[in-house]
Structure formats: C-alpha cells, structure tokens
A and B are shown apart, each in its own frame.
Chain A
Amino acid sequence: MQTRTLPTVDADAAAEARRQLAICNICGYCNGLCAVFSAAERRPRLADGDLDQLANLCHHCRSCLYDCQYAPPHAFAINLPRALARQRRQSYARYTWPRPLAALFTGGGLRAGLPAAGVVLAFTLAVVLAVPVEVLFGVHSGPGAFYQVIPFGVMTAGAALSLGFALLAVGMGLRRFRQATAATQPAGSPGSAAGRATLAVLTLDNQAGGGPGCADLDHHPSRLRRRFHHALFYGFLLCLASTLVAAARHHLLGEAAPYPLLSAPVLLGTAGGLGMLVGGLGMHWLRRREDPTPTDPDSRGADTALTWLLLAVAATGLALLALRGTAAMGLLLAVHLGTVLALFVLLPYSKMVHAVYRGAALWQDARERDGT
C-alpha cells in the first residue's frame, strides 16, 4: 500500500476549494470561527453553487489559515482563505450580466484599475471640452453654483442612467447567484432571516474570528480590518444619506446646492468622506503590511482598484467642499462627478459586487440555519 498525498496544487479553483472544504468537513475544529464551516457541513456535496455560496459567505478574516494544523508546509496544504478568495473572485465573473462584461473581472494588478480610471478621465475630458473655459474656471457662488458648470439636467440624468443600469445589472447577477446557490434542503422563512442577515452586514460579526478578532496582519488577533471596513462602509452610507437629503431639499424645498457648511448635506457628506478616507487608507495600509499567504494574489488588483476609487470619491468630494468658492471648483466638480460615475457604472463589474453577493450569502445562510 503506497502512501498517497492529496494533490496540493490544482489549476481549477473550484476543485481546490472542494478538496480543502472536504477536509474541513471531516475536521470541524474551526466551526466556531465563522459561519462558513457549519454552512459547509450542511452542503457536504460541495457542488459549484455550494462553493460560490461558501466563498461569498467567507469574510476573509484569515484566522482559519493560522489555526489549521494542515496548513502548509503540511502535505494537505490547507489554505482556505486563499482558496475561497480565488473562488469568490471567479464567482463575480460567473454571475455577471451581461455576460461579455465579465471580461472586466479578468484584469489583475494595475489593469483592474483601468476601467475606473478611464471613466473618470473620459468624463472630465468631456466636461473640459463641453464647458467654455471662462465658465469652467470661473468663480461661482450662491444657489445653483454647481449647475452653472454642469447643468442640473445633465447631472441628474447621468446619475439616474448610470445607477439605474448598475442596479439592473446587479439585480440580474443577484438573480443568477441566488438560483445557483439555493440550498437543496428546506430553508427557513426569508423574513426573519433577512433581519439577521442585515444585522450581520451591519456588524460584520463573521469578521471576528469567533470573538478574539481576525488574523489581519499575521496570526495575532486583530480588529483593524473590521474597523476600517466599518469606517469605509458607514462613511459611504453617510455620503449616500447626504445625497438623499440634498435631493430632498432640492425637490421638496426648492433649495439648490451648494448648501451652507452647517447644513445636513454638508455635515453628513463631510463626516462620510472623512470616514471613507480613514477606512480606505486603513484597508490599503493593511493590504501592504499583511502576510500575503492567505490572500489570493490575483484578487489584489480588484481590491486595490476599489479602495482607490472610493478614496478618490471621498478625497475629491472633500476637496470640492473646501474649494467650492474658488476657480478650481469647476474642474474639481468634474473630477468628483467622474469618480462617482465610475463607481456607479462599474458597480456590477468591480469588487463592489462583493457587497451584493455577501449580503445574499448571509441571507441564504440565515435561512438555512432556521431550516435545520
């Protein structure tokens, strides 16, 4: 009888994730760390849809690599955070709508940032070419100042069209994801599960290593990534709130932007922008300092591209606020709206989709827990 070791390297991400999770399902030592391990035990077949569900349930807390007695250099070579990150990256492309645009996910490294950079540049260039120089570089003040550079109709139509298409594309992707990842066993009611999934999104309680914290930089428990993500996420929500309040003031009260420094839109946007800056820079710092072992090298490009885009949205927004009374306002407005447009347009084709699929995976998981 020959001693046989399992193949350690597999060209196929799904086969490798399946190989590793099958071992996890026998061991089970990590099932207190996060939801992934109990979910894998409920889906022992580990079919392709199961793998996508588990990969998107994984919050990349990385603890299970350092807690694994079978991690490299062991012959079993278990590195689940990396295997699931790889599976997750490929799952984004798998559910993309329309399908040909899945190619936007294949760019690694610097190439992953090209689409966003292209949108920002194209929009800025279009504004520079379309707006007369004396208007673009003039000093504008009072209500409607922004709309003297970019007309209100263009701004709202651009936002509505880009966001509308993004939501349609994300919705189609979500539909495909939910069909592929639906559990074969009975699941609980969607209502109460949705509440718990929302709570899981808002608290990121799966990004806690089961309590002590995640392996953000190395094996030492840490809460840095979770806190930076919170800063980024809640900062983003505050900016969204700022936009909604501004829209309400415009349409309901007939008050056109820009608003005074101590108004709700400016305060919410400033707080949100600062939160996004802190969170984004923190995430970026973690990425540069972390032990790369549990990270999928091919996912880094998309991760970095999204962080930079969010940082650009926040930084240009804050700069616009600071310099809105000067001649730089026109160009800053163009660049800021360009970054927002890029975020909207690329929402279905950037790392931003992780929010959609992770939310769906958490919802599905909550239902499965109810069902068992």
Chain B
Amino acid sequence: MLVIGGGAAALAAAIDAAAAGASVRLLDAAPPALLGGNTRHSRNFRCSHDAPTPWTPDAYPPAQFRADVLRATGGGADPVLLEALVQQSRALPDWLLAQGVALQRPAQGPLPYSRRTAFFLGGGMAAVRALADRALALGVDMVPGCAAHALVLRGRRMTAVVTDQGSMSAGACVLACGGAHADPAWLARHWGAAARGFVNRGTPHVRGELLQWLLAQGAAAAGDPAGLYLVAVDARSPAHDGGIVTRIRGMPLGVVVDRQGRRRHDEGADTASTRYSRWGQRLAAYPEQTGWLVLDDPGLRAAPAALYPPLRAPDIASLAVLCGIDPAGLEATFTAYNAAVRAPAQSDAAAGWRTACLDPPKSAYARPILEPPFAAYPMRPGVTFAHHGIAVDACTRVRWTDGTVLENAFAAGMLMAANLIPQGYVSGLAVSISLVFGRIAGRAAVQAAGRPAAPLPEPDQGHFERAEPDPAGPVT
C-alpha cells in the first residue's frame, strides 16, 4: 500500500494501515528535514470531549464542534464527513499519546485557554517526529524526496503510482499530499498577476501535481480554487515556510495604508484573532498586494513583537519615502485621521477612542497617531491553505465527476479538507481533519487492497502484501 505525503494525514494513514497489518510505503516530496508538511507549523487540534481531560479543560460537546464548523464555513461542510470528524476527533488525544506524541497540559507553560483544542508539547514538529518514529517502528518504508505525479488507473481502480523513482504498483493508495498553493503557476491561474504578491507561509512542496492530474482526469473538485486562507504577514518574509512568526498583528494600534497612502478599512473593527485572516484577504486586493501598518512610537511599543524590525523615520513624509508610499497621500491621511479622532465620553479606555466623520472610520482604539518616531511594517497576504481539493465519499474514496468513485484510492488531509472547510476556518481544524481522515483512509485502504480487483491483477503487480501483525497489536 502506498501513502503519498508526509504530514499528519499521511503519517496517520500509514500508522493505522501498518498497525492493521498492511505493508506500507510512504512517499514524501520533501527532503527529510522538511518531513511533516505543514503539520510542522501547527500547534493544536480541535477535539470534542464531554468532560475535562488532562489536555483540555471543561467540555466541548460534539454539537458545539459541529455548530462552530458550520458557522465558520457558512454551512458548507459536508454533513456526513463533518459528523465523522466531530465524533472521531474525540479519540485523537488518546490515539496520539499511544503513538508517542506528547501533549501539553494547560498548566504547563503559558497556554491560551482553550477547551476546544489540545496542544502538542513542543508544537507540530515534535508531533511529526513522534508519528514518523511510530511509523518506522511499525515497519513503514519511508521514502523522502520522492514526489508522486500520477496514478495508473484501470477503470476505477488504481494499480500503480507514477513517482520520481518510477512506477510503483500498489493494492491501494492514500493521497495525503496537500493542496497546490505552493505552485506559482497554479496560483497565477486563479489569481492572475496578484499571485506574485503572495507569500507562502508553509512548505514549498505542496505543488498539487497529483491534485491537478486527478482533476484533469475527471476527479470531482471540492471547494473553490480561488479560495485561499490568507493571513497578513510581513512583506519581507521568506517566500516559503515562514510559518507562525511572520504574522503582523498590531493593526488596531495604527492605521493600514496602501501605496497611495490611503486607508481602505476600519482597523478597529476587529480585534479578535480573526483579524489576521481578514487583513490577509484585504491585502490581496491592495495594489501590488502590499499594505503598511503605520504606528507612532506609543503604538509601536504596545504592538505585539514582530519578526523583522519596522521601518522607522522621524516624520510621516520621510517614512513614506522610506516605504515607497506616496508622501502627500500619507500625510493627507494622517491629517484627516488625527483631526477625526474623538476621545471616549466616559472612560479613557483605549478601546473607546473612535473617529468621527472619517471614511473609512476607525471604530475602536483610534488614538491620535502623533508621537515620532513613526514606524511601518510592510505587509502582504500569506497563503496558509487553499479551500480547494478533491471531493471524497464518506470513506474518503476519490469521487469522480460521473458519480463513481475510485475503488482503492483515498484522499486525506488538506487535499480533501475543502469538503469540510469550503470557506472560513477555526483554529486546530486542519490537524484534526488530517488525523481523523488520515486514519479513516488508512484503514479503508487496507480493506480495499485486500479485496480482489476486477480484472484480477497480475501476480507481480501487487506491492501490497499481508505482513505479520505487529507484535504491539493494532492501535485503536
């Protein structure tokens, strides 16, 4: 059996399949140092529980999990898959612990309160290493640096996978190699010239070759290829793999302008963590996909720490020149903004400051921005994942546009996450989807590989063989 990919979904599929006795080979396009896909950048996963656990306080009933996903995704989640996610997420903490993954207790280090998600101790990299160790211990043949390009299909049955190292035959395969958003050509097809202004926050190896091949062959798509989950990141970030630390977060403390020096949105309207993605989407529509968060000295001191130092200047005009913003435009914006600022009537709480008669308004934290030196963070949209992938049935078989499914090819993880998140996002969802559907796909693939195909494959075609059950026994 072949597993394509190296993130949480691929590793979960390989582990459950190997534990069920299958002979598994895992192909990851990335070199060994980048094993783990975008799970490397993750930290927590969403799981329902009815009572407090050592890893998650209070309770998170399945009904709330379901409602949270439906609300965030505009009701677009596939109800059958959502039900599987919500119910099977319950088993994730115990399953992970059994694989050797360590979880962080809420009291252990300053964790944000979260009854909805559990945290990997040491983050996603630690989880990836533990899962990879477990897969190796179960006899999974791990092949890093080997990308898959296409499947060999006989009717609706996969007989082999075409890879960097030639064609590999298999009784079944799990495709868990993520989306296509690290491929600039794919991005340009759906976003045009704007795609050049995007930064990829994750692994450069999610280039979607298999996804695009499947769609060209007649596989059904899920989600929207132009739907990207974008987050505002520092424009100076590396082109790939900057992860969590490149985010710019201090928008409520300043003003955000485009290259003409114009404000376009209310910086005070959204102060929850949802602002990261809201600004990512907005920046995608800015000229050259670039905006600047401009702060004065008190604003900069109050702003969350950022990866790169801001550009700084003693006055607005010099800052504009330094950034490449139109100086007259930026000065006009600041004059109008500072004139429109109104102190709160009752208290002097920072949140109460707002602008009057300004378009767009700043509806909270609208303090005067007057104290030099001034600082600016250049920002661009950072692509986190795409709301786009392969449509699957309830047991994650790849669906075809003619209504049929591939009998023995399964999709898991971000390659099929758009079935559940066609838009929007809630924290910890990606890892939960990857683990739950990776496990489902891995076990389903074992079954499918064992089933005799029609027509029967030649004897030498099966890479898959029934291995001796692992002494440790199957893990549930």
Contacts and interface: CB of A to CB of B under 8 A. Distances in A.
Given A4-B308, A26-B305, A69-B243, A38 B110 contact: yes
Interface residues of A, number: 39
A73 B204 CA distance: 14
The main secondary structure of chain A at its interface with chain B is: loop
A312 B125 CA distance: 41
B342 interface: no
B307 A32 contact: no
A185 to B, nearest CB: 15
Interface in B17-65: 33, 40-41, 43
A22 interface: yes
B236 A3 contact: yes
B236 A4 contact: yes
B104 A69 contact: no
Interface in A56-71: 63-64, 66-70
Contacts of A68: 123, 125
B119 interface: yes
B121 A23 contact: no
B235 interface: yes
A37 B120 CA distance: 16
Nearest to B241: A74
A38 to B, nearest CB: 6
Q: Could you say which of A2, A73, A211 has the most chain B C-beta atoms within 10 Å of its C-beta? A: A211
Contacts of A63: 122, 126
A73 B304 CA distance: 27
A1 to B, nearest CB: 5
A371 to B, nearest CB: 14
Contacts of A70: 243, 245
A32 B243 contact: no
B126 to A, nearest CB: 4
Interface residues of B, number: 40
The main secondary structure of chain B at its interface with chain A is: loop
A334 B236 CA distance: 65
A64 B122 contact: yes
A243 interface: no
A219 interface: yes
30 contacts: A1-B235, A1-B290, A1-B380, A3-B237, A3-B239, A4-B236, A26-B244, A26-B245, A26-B306, A26-B307, A27-B123, A27-B243, A29-B43, A29-B123, A30-B123, A31-B109, A32-B108, A32-B121, A37-B109, A44-B305, A64-B122, A66-B125, A67-B123, A67-B126, A70-B243, A210-B104, A211-B102, A212-B102, A220-B133, A221-B102
Instruction: Please provide the 9 A-B residue pairs with the shortest distance between their CB atoms, ordered closest to farther.
Output: A29-B123, A67-B122, A31-B109, A32-B104, A32-B109, A67-B126, A26-B245, A69-B40, A212-B102
Given A6-B308, A75-B238, 14 more contacts: A1-B236, A2-B236, A30-B123, A32-B105, A32-B108, A32-B121, A69-B243, A209-B122, A210-B102, A210-B108, A211-B102, A211-B108, A211-B121, A220-B133
Interface of B: 33, 40-41, 43, 100, 102, 104-105, 108-111, 119-126, 129, 133, 235-239, 241, 243-245, 290, 304-308, 324, 378, 380
